[in-house]
Chain A
Amino acid sequence: MRNIAWKLIEALALQLTPTEREIVLGDLIETRETAWRGMREISGLVVRRQLQSWNGWGPWLAAPGLALPCSFMLMGFSFAISSELRNHFEYGWQLSFILTEPGKFISLLCQVLVLLICAWAAGFTVESISRRTFVVSAICSFLPCLFCLLRFRQESLPRFCLLLFLLPAVAGVCFSRRGGTINRRRALALALVATICMAVLAACGQLRVLNWVLIWPSWYLAILPVRSHGDSSNEVTVS
């Protein structure tokens, strides 16, 4: 097989697990398939594997059930936080509002905590329950961003303020991808903090009912770990 064609085949085979890649590329070398046929064979297997991974509930829950709605709601939080920060810090660091308007400060603090915890937990959960279909989940997350960025008309704020949530979300994804672990107690503490902050925001009238959806990834991590090592371990590992 020609070199370029073989490189293409190897690139396609990256979608397979290392073991399967080894077996399939070995089969193609042994049968001396033509480049075109080799690409067709590998693509066929990749497509079948992708379709297989949609058989379970995980990818469906992660892509349309979590990534899509959470992106919309977290963009709302990002925008609200950016607006608040602009109001208080537009003309320098005006920290006096912490004492003069404690209600506003608490509300801002709660919004920031909700954004950090919920975005991180959502990123972690999406990556861990749909590892093989993560690209689709990422697309489901970026589509609402694109939609809102294109329709953004607020002149006093930069367009990218909508994407504040992406930093903790990407951190959650990276943490999960590295096989990171989260102690069950910490997961529970995070979920509790997020819930309390949401309750405070709801009491202040700054929360829509739908936004409560955002806390389920945190509770998911606290209650239903994807995979745990050890029989009585309270360490949750997602791999």
Chain B
Amino acid sequence: MLGEFEYLLITAAATLGENAYGVAMREAIVKATGRTCSIGALYTTLDRLEAKGLVKTWMGEGTPQRGGRSKRMVRVTPAGTAAARSFYDTMMRISNRAPWAAQQTERAE
């Protein structure tokens, strides 16, 4: 099963689609969690996910905003999608009767 941060990375990459790369993924994670995401944590986790075959990364083209330096582009593989779905389903199932989940459902109603 995925770890929390692994799930965040896969979800950010899947959401960003063709534009998934280091900086954009960090911004998405910071925006969603309100926590900082270090470059070290991002790239070491990406390496781990790639080794597991859950994402595929490659060198993208450089842009003037980056001083012409390349980006590390990310794409979620079918195995990554399946792992993220499994994590999400598990979280939903286990949270189903949790007090905070019930409160949220009541609020929604």
Contact = CB atoms under 8 A, between A and B. Distances in A.
Given A29-B65, A30-B66, A24 B71 contact: no
Interface in B7-41: 22-23, 26, 38-41
Interface string B61-83: 01101110111100000000000
B39 A45 contact: yes
A19 interface: yes
18 contacts: A19-B59, A20-B43, A22-B69, A23-B70, A24-B43, A25-B67, A26-B69, A27-B66, A28-B39, A30-B65, A30-B66, A41-B40, A45-B38, A45-B40, A45-B43, A48-B41, A48-B44, A52-B44
B40 A26 contact: no
A88 interface: no
A164 to B, nearest CB: 42
Interface of A: 19-20, 22-31, 41-42, 44-45, 47-49, 52
**Max chain B C-beta neighbours (<10 A), residue from A19, A31, A49:** A31
A23 B67 contact: no
Nearest to A45: B40
B23 A45 contact: no
A28 B42 CA distance: 13
Contact of A26 (B26, B38, B43, B62): B62
B40 A48 contact: yes
A30 B23 contact: yes
Contact of B22 (A27, A42, A47, A52): A27
Contacts of A28: 39
Given A19-B59, A48-B44, A49-B44, A27 B70 contact: no
Contacts of A48: 40-41, 44
Interface range on chain B (Cβ under 8 Å from partner): 10 to 19
Interface string B32-58: 000000111101100000000000000
Contacts of B67: 25-26, 29
Contacts of A52: 44
Given A41-B38, A41-B39, A44-B39, A26 B71 contact: yes
A44 to B, nearest CB: 4
Contacts of B26: 27, 31
Nearest to B22: A27
Pick from B39, B67, B70 the residue with the most CB of A within 10 Å: B39
Nearest to A20: B43
A44 B38 CA distance: 8
Given A24-B39, A29-B67, A44-B38, 17 more contacts: A24-B43, A25-B67, A25-B69, A26-B69, A26-B70, A26-B71, A27-B26, A27-B66, A28-B39, A30-B65, A31-B23, A41-B39, A44-B40, A48-B40, A48-B41, A48-B44, A49-B44
Nearest to B72: A23
A43 to B, nearest CB: 8
> Considering residues A22, A28, A41, which has the most beta carbons from chain B within 10 angstroms of its beta carbon?
A22
A25 B70 CA distance: 9
A45 B69 contact: no
A26 B39 CA distance: 12
